[in-house]
Structure 1
Amino acid sequence: MISNSEMIRIRRQMQRRIQDVVAERRRTRQQDPTPTSPTSPTPSGTDQEVCVADNGPG
């Protein structure tokens, strides 16, 4: 059985990985505009921030 502290550690590690993937995709999206709309400008700085819940200290 996994202890509570181990579960918290695993959850935070997963959240960090998700944030890393989201950030990487955001960077890729900003660098490579979609070919479906080449004439529309891509606004910078309008990405929504992804918030991950923090379930306490640790």
Structure 2
Amino acid sequence: MISNSEMIRIRRQMQRRIRDVVAERRRTRLMDPSLSPATSGADQEVCVADNGPG
């Protein structure tokens, strides 16, 4: 069973990774304004791989 502190750590890690992906997509759109949300994949589901702690 996962402890409460471990669950909090995992949740924060997931939020950080999602925020990084969103920021990267935002940078990409700013660098290439010709990309529309439909072509940049902004509406696709974000899949985050768990590479362990850190």
Q: Is TM > 0.5 for Structure 1 vs Structure 2?
A: yes
Q: How many residues align?
A: 36
Q: Distance in 2 between matches of 1:34 and 1:12?
A: 33
Gapped regions of structure 2 (runs ≥ 5): 37-54
- What TM-score results when the alignment is normalised by the length of structure 1? 0.58
- What TM-score results when the alignment is normalised by the length of structure 2? 0.62
Structure having greater relative contact order (Cα 8 Å, sep ≥ 6): 1
Percent of aligned pairs sharing the same letter: 83
Shift of 1:34: 1.6
Runs of 4+ in 1 over 4 A off after TM superposition: none
